[in-house]
Amino acid sequence: MKTKVLALLLLLCACFSLGTHAQEAAKGETEQAAVSETETEAKHGSAVNFERSLDSYVPQKNHYNFYFTYKIVHPWWDAVALGIEEAQRQLLERGITVTYEYMAPEMTSAKDQERRLREAAAGGDYDVIGADVADEALITPVLDELSEEGNKVMTFSSSDAADGCRRIAYVGNTHNYEDGAQLTEALCEKLDYRGKVAILIGVEGAPCHEERARGVRDTIAKYDDMKIVDVSYDQDSIENAYQLTKEFLDRFDDLAGIVCCNMSNPVGAARAVKEAEADVVIVGMDHDREALEDLRDGVIYCLGVQDCFSIGFDTIQVAVKIADGQLPGELFPEKTQEVTTLIYQDDAEEMLANLYGVVQ
């Protein structure tokens, strides 16, 4: 368990252009979702905005203590943490100290998340408790219970709680369904709207994974010559995704495409496709280095990259306001909407250079 007071930001503070193919993911419903400043950046081709600054809000205290729990120890949430750390650093420059716990299990478990949340509420002196919801059905009632007990509760990152949850606000991806639909539309177009497709979802019950998969199914259903032949859960594991893809390829010698609904499964799927030397179109999520290299090399067709840095940065900004007793309204929305951008082969080298320092 670690409590952070100040962490060094290890990313270059630079936005990067991703070329003419970059597309902003379609928006979800916006009645309760405000467009963050990153939305404007994405329209000009930037997938990740590292040049974030605190807004004009003046915090009411000089110290805040937060508890955040998320689905699984994974590089995706490490990227979110970088945004958290940058907001923390900027607050420290203003004389405001933020400490926090940022905890997750090695393997996704909603029961483990429930335990962590209850322990934080019972034993911690936290201004705000935040969760990236591991399972909507199980965790929503827990968040409601903690709220009723007087805890200030928010959700963040990739998955909100169920509609009607008593949590105060959500910061993160509000358009997972649209992300799944847009990735699949790109796949269908590449395949000339015909062929057999398999889906790798991730974690059963995880809202972001399930919503993307629903977008995949609904998009495939629009085209008479497209067919879903298998749907499997890989538990956000590269190895599981690799093994499942091998099974797809063994069972369906005419498989045309694979849609991957999280950051791990395009890596595993690409490994299996390369090993089999199969002609299969892969689309997937996010910015794993190996996935970006496969995108550059043409093994993966496109990736939907979420702005994890802004998710983390905005989580701290909203948490401070919640801690001060502020409610959604003029100061912050109930749902802070972050951006997903589709990137293609032409965009991969610049993304690798900016995120990982890889120069070919």
Domains of the chain (ranges, CATH numbers): 18-175+307-338 (3.40.50.2300), 176-305 (3.40.50.2300)
> Phi/psi at 209 (nearest 5 deg)?
-70, -45
Q: What is the DSSP secondary-structure string of 43-70?
A: HTT-S--------S---S-SEEEEEEE-
Residue pLDDT, tens place only, 345-358: 999 999 999 888 87
Asked if the model's pLDDT at residue 64 lies above 50, the reply is: yes
CA quadruple 351, 50, 87, 161: dihedral sign: negative
**Average pLDDT rounded to a whole number, residues 68-89:** 94
pLDDT at position 310 is 96
Report CA 152 to chain centroid distance, whole Å. 23
How large is the average pLDDT for residues 46-67? 95
Percent pLDDT > 90 in the chain is 81
Of residues 124 and 296, more confidently modeled = 296
Q: Long-range contacts: 38-42, Cβ < 8 Å, 24+?
A: 38/307, 38/310, 38/338, 38/339, 39/337, 39/339, 41/15, 41/339, 42/307, 42/339, 42/341
* Pick from 316, 302, 336, 332: nearest CA to 47: 302
Confidence of residue 32 (pLDDT cuts 50, 70, 90): very low
CB burial string 177-212: b at 16+ within 10 A, e below:
bbbbbbbbbbbbeebeeebbbbbbbbbebbbbbbbb
Task: Show Cβ contacts of residue 103 under 8 Å, excluding neighbours closer than 6 positions.
Answer: 1, 67, 68, 69, 70, 116
Distance of CA 167 to the CA centre of its chain: 19
pLDDT in tens, 92-144: 999 999 999 999 999 889 999 999 999 999 987 999 999 999 999 999 999 99
Q: What SS3 class is residue 248? A: helix
**Please, which pLDDT band fits residue 209 given cuts at 50, 70 and 90?**
very high
pLDDT, position 359: 74
- Segment 30-52 shows an average pLDDT of 51
Mean pLDDT of 61-80: 94
CA nearest neighbour of 293 among 251, 234, 349: 349
| Residue 302: strand, helix, or coil | strand
Residue 334 has pLDDT above 60, yes or no: yes
Q: What are the CA-CA distances from residue 73 to residues 109, 199, 205, 264, 328 (Å)?
A: 11, 23, 18, 12, 30
Torsion of the alpha carbons at 329, 331, 337 and 343, rounded to the nearest 10: 160
* Strand locations in 169-250 (E): 170-172, 195-200, 226-232
Cβ 270 vs Cβ 179: under 8 Å: no
Q: Which pLDDT score, from 0 to 100, does residue 244 have? A: 98
Give the per-residue pLDDT at 357: 86
**C-alpha R_g of the chain:** 20
Which one-letter amino acid corresponds to residue 89?
Answer: R
Higher pLDDT, 122 or 12: 122
Per-residue model confidence as pLDDT tens digits over 160-174? 999 999 999 999 999
- Average pLDDT score over residue span 233-251: 97
Give the per-residue pLDDT at 22: 36
Assess whether pLDDT exceeds 90 at residue 326.
yes
Confidence of residue 26 (pLDDT cuts 50, 70, 90): very low
